[in-house]
Amino acid sequence: MIAAAWGVHARTDDPLAEAAALGANQVQIMLGDPQSWRAPRLDWDGGPAAFREAAAAAGLTVWVHAAYLINVASTNNRVRLPSRQLLQRTVDLAAGLGAAGVVVHGGHVTADDPPELGQANWRKCLDGLDLALPLLIENTAGGRNAMARTLDRLTALWLALADSPNRDRLGFCLDTCHAHAAGFDLGQAVDQIRAVTGRIDLVHANDSRDRPGSGADRHANLGQGQCDPVGLAQALARADAPIVLETPGGLEEHRQDRDWLERNLT
């Protein structure tokens, strides 16, 4: 039997129909161009309220992925400040359309900056956000000075955020491709990460096109990449969290990924 809560990152103009075609009960969307500083938007007749009603009627839980260029850890004001503003606007719109949470990458500092500066910037950002829903930090695949790539760095970030007034709204999203690329043993990753964060709220289920520890963020369909299939299945099962596919291709490829989940998560 497949995981009780699973779905797909939708890439079409009708994400609800895309999820329904797969028999999913979860869907993840972007609010506009993921590589743009423009304000988030939802192209849906009737706006956020109509989308919220349609998702509820379809029995779909909605997750929002924030723009990829957001980097609230940056020491560059021209990056950090627009990142905070865009993240807040994304949270506001996501709340309006009834999303369960917003996923954002952990970000990084430059090679010349100590990681502690990035952790402090994350703390300032978290303290200042108005969070109407949970904010999930996602682990990343590469970057020597990334905030959420290695277990040690993730531990330091969580300690920096531990007593924020918004700590109860902070969650974690595990990406299996990113963990593989960062050098985690997928069979142990969930227990190691949960020991730091206390929770895993969402899983991005992805195989990897590249070898373990490569630092490369290149997703593959489940069972067709270089992730250890046993470890991948163990991570997905042990996380005990909703699963969202971010794998390549369209409906046919995602049906095959769904079938892989059905075979391996029993």
Q: Where are the domains of the chain?
A: 6-220+227-264
- For the question of whether the overall pTM of this predicted structure is more than 0.95, the answer is yes
Residues with Cβ within 8 Å of 38's Cβ and at least 6 positions away in sequence, in order, are 32
pLDDT reported for residue 12: 82
**pLDDT tens over the chain, length 266 residues:** 355 799 999 988 899 999 999 999 999 999 999 999 999 999 999 999 999 999 999 999 999 999 999 999 999 999 999 999 999 999 999 999 999 999 999 999 999 999 999 999 999 999 999 999 999 999 999 998 999 999 999 999 999 999 999 999 999 999 999 999 999 999 999 999 999 999 999 999 999 999 999 999 999 999 999 999 999 999 999 999 999 999 999 999 999 999 999 999 97
Question: Among residues 222, 202, 218, which one has the least CA distance to residue 210?
Answer: 218
| 109-148 per-position pLDDT tens digit | 999 999 999 999 999 999 999 999 999 999 999 998 999 9
In this structure, are residues 15 and 52 in contact, taking their beta carbons and an 8 Å threshold?
no
pLDDT reported for residue 105: 98
pLDDT reported for residue 3: 57
Residue 19 and residue 23: Cα distance in Å, rounded?
Answer: 6
pLDDT reported for residue 204: 98
CATH number belonging to the domain at 6-220+227-264, selected among 3.20.20.150, 2.170.120.30, 3.50.50.60, 3.10.20.520: 3.20.20.150
Residue 91 and residue 136: Cα distance in Å, rounded?
Answer: 11
pLDDT reported for residue 176: 98
pLDDT reported for residue 36: 95
Cα-Cα-Cα-Cα dihedral sign, residues 218, 222, 226, 228 = positive
